[in-house]
Amino acid sequence: MRLLDTTWTSLGYLVAAVCFILALKGLSSPATARRGNLIGAAGAVLAVLVAFLSTDLEHVLLILLAIAVGTALGVPAARRVAMTQMPQLVALFNGVGGAAAALVAGLELTRTMSLPGVGQVSALVIGNKGWFAYAPLSGSTFVPPVTGTAYVAAAAGAFTVLVGAVSFAGSVVTFAKLQEIMTTRPVTFPGGPVVFGGSLAVAVGLAVAIVVDVRNGEVNGLLVLALALVSMLVGVLFVLPVGGADVPIVISLLNAFTGLTVAASGYVLDNVLLLVAGTLVGASGTILTRLMAAAMGRSLASILFGAFRQKAAGP
């Protein structure tokens, strides 16, 4: 439905963004924390309503059904969980959020034509070349004009898939550690840092390949799939060496990661609310991670990579 025009849509998103800022502010102080959380929830509901009322959408019934399924899965889990198991539930929620961001960016990447800066012939080009600016249309294969903006959007999309998949897989491992499905001790193996660095390098290489691929007017879906899979391996290797007591800090870090992916997907989708909300979470999550590490008297580097160093210095 297109009940709201661009102005009302932007205003609705602005109010939602303000709600999120007030929510974070409220959550920082005991007296206002609960109200802050409710303000955040109100902002999220408003944002979803605005999205429905401002976009031409197909499959509305299916989408509503999917929201109902998500609510039916999320609310009972949040209601029934024991106090001691809340951190791992938050980790799981963070993981599925990262997965959702990766899926959104992956879908948008493979529909390259929808990226900002693809297929938009600038007024300057039309002015210079007149009708001939559209000449590629007459060819047998249509290659849309691609501007620099498109490459930036593709980079943001590839970033979202990479970090979103890292956040998803990493969060699942933190969940398994806290739930004691697997050992809570740091897991290291010979050559661990090399394997981690190697898989990260492969993931970055695939991300670069995707950005280059935009030139052809269509991104290969298999590249995006490969990027997601390798990134999930990176996420697992990232969290394995972290000990059980330090896991909450890693959850906070992955939470900040997911925030950044949401911000990047906001850039890909040209959606200011996602950009602002994601950036807020990314920035506040980074600060929070440092505060949590400081409260435990540890540095972030010693938490993430300490297991390797101890091994190197080993007894």
Partner 1 sequence: MDGITLLTIFVLAVFVGFEVVSKVSTTLHTPLMSGANAIHGVILVGAIIVTGQTTSTVGLVLGLLAVVLATVNMVGGFVVTDRMLEMFKGRGQRPAASQEAGR
Whichever of 107 and 201 has its CB closer to partner 1, that residue is 107
Binding mask 279-298 for partner 1 (x = CB under 8 A): xxxxxxxxxx--xx--x---
Residue 156 contacts residue 264 (beta carbons within 8 Å):
yes
CA 142 vs CA 136, 145, 215, 223: distances in Å: 6, 9, 12, 21
Quick note: the x/- pattern for partner 1 over 148-187, rule CB under 8 A, is -x--x-----------------------------------
Residue with tokens 């969290």: 239
From candidates 47, 165, 234, 240, binder to partner 1 by CB under 8 A:
47
Which of 2, 8, 11, 73 lies at the binding interface for partner 1 (CB under 8 A)? Answer: 73
Burial class (CB in 10 A: 0-12, 13-18, 19+), 297: exposed
**Which residues, numbered 211-240, are part of the site for partner 1 (CB under 8 A)?**
none
Phi then psi dihedrals of residue 4, to 5 deg: -105, 135
CA angle 247, 289, 232 (to 5 degrees): 55
Query: Smallest distance, Å, CB 117 to partner 1?
Result: 9
263 near partner 1, rule: CB under 8 A: yes
Of 164, 118, 174, nearest in space to 274 by CA: 164
Closest approach, Cβ 292 to partner 1, in A, equals 5
Q: Which residues contact 116 (CB under 8 A, 6 or more apart)?
A: 149, 150, 153, 268, 270
Among 53, 125, 176, 272, interactor with partner 1 by CB under 8 A: 272
Q: Sign of the CA dihedral 194, 199, 202, 207?
A: negative
Task: Tell me how far CA of residue 272 lies from CA of 99, 101, 145, 218, in angstroms.
Answer: 21, 15, 25, 25
Q: Which helix (H) or strand (E) holds 18?
A: helix 6-27
Q: What b/e readout covers 128-147, taking b as 16+ CB neighbours within 10 angstroms?
A: eeeeebeeeeeeeeeebbbb
Interaction between residue 278 and partner 1 (CB under 8 A): yes
* Piece in contact with partner 1 (CB under 8 A), picked from 107-115, 119-127, 195-203, 231-239: 107-115
Which of 7, 30, 61, 137 is in the footprint of partner 1 by CB under 8 A? 30
Residue 60 CA to residue 38 CA, distance in Å, equals: 27
- Least separation, in Å, of the C-beta of 188 and partner 1? 24
Using the rule CB under 8 A, which residue among 4, 51, 158, 172 binds partner 1? 51
Interaction between residue 25 and partner 1 (CB under 8 A): yes
Assess 61 for contact with partner 1 (CB under 8 A). Answer: no
Instruction: Report the residue number, 37 or 134, with the smaller CB distance to partner 1.
Output: 37
Judging by beta carbons within 10 Å of its beta carbon (0-12, 13-18, 19+), is residue 298 exposed, middle or buried? middle
7 binds partner 1 (CB under 8 A): no
Tell which phi-psi region holds residue 187, choosing left (phi > 0), alpha (psi between -120 and 50) or beta: beta
> Of these, 4, 154, 273, 303, which contacts partner 1 (CB under 8 A)?
273
* Residues touching partner 1, count (CB under 8 A): 102
CB 70 to partner 1: min, Å: 3
Nearer Cβ to partner 1, position 55 or 216?
A: 55
Contact between 195 and partner 1 (CB under 8 A)?
no
Query: 231 or 252, CB closer to partner 1?
Result: 252
Stretch that binds partner 1, among 27-35, 120-128, 186-194, 206-214 (CB under 8 A): 27-35
